Amino acid sequence: MRIDLTMIENENQLHELMANCFGFPDYYGKNWDAFWDCLCDSDVPKVIEFVGSSHLKSALPESFESLKSCFDDLSREYPNIATRVDWN
């Protein structure tokens, strides 16, 4: 799965993009706790390529770190659903 982050200008847009890409339910709360819960309950692809990571890191550094932490934690805590993430 390839996810383009280059047009993200705020955290709400980032959560909308993640919800659409991962098929999160309508009740997704658009916060990092809800992201974690939905991510753990979804069918995560084996490979995810985030394009525009440097843009997100520059524009929304806290959101970038939260997103990255979720995927780092997923690999550590749930190796059975872990995925390879490329931050390009």
| Domain region containing 10 | 2-87
Using the structure block, give the residue that is written with the tokens 């997923």: 74
Work out the number of other CB atoms within 10 angstroms of the CB of residue 23.
10
Please enumerate in sequence order all residues whose Cβ is within 8 A of that of 28, keeping only pairs 6 or more positions apart, or say none: 15, 19, 34, 35, 38
Alpha-carbon distance 41 to 82, whole Å? 12
- Report the CATH number at residue 41: 3.30.370.10
- Please give the tally of structural domains in the chain: 1
The one-digit pLDDT tens for each residue of the chain (88 residues) are 999 999 999 999 999 999 999 999 999 999 999 999 999 988 889 999 999 999 999 999 999 999 999 999 998 998 887 689 999 9
Q: Given this model, what pLDDT does residue 71 score?
A: 95
Kindly state the tokens that stand for 43: 């069918």
Is 0.85 topped by the overall pTM? yes
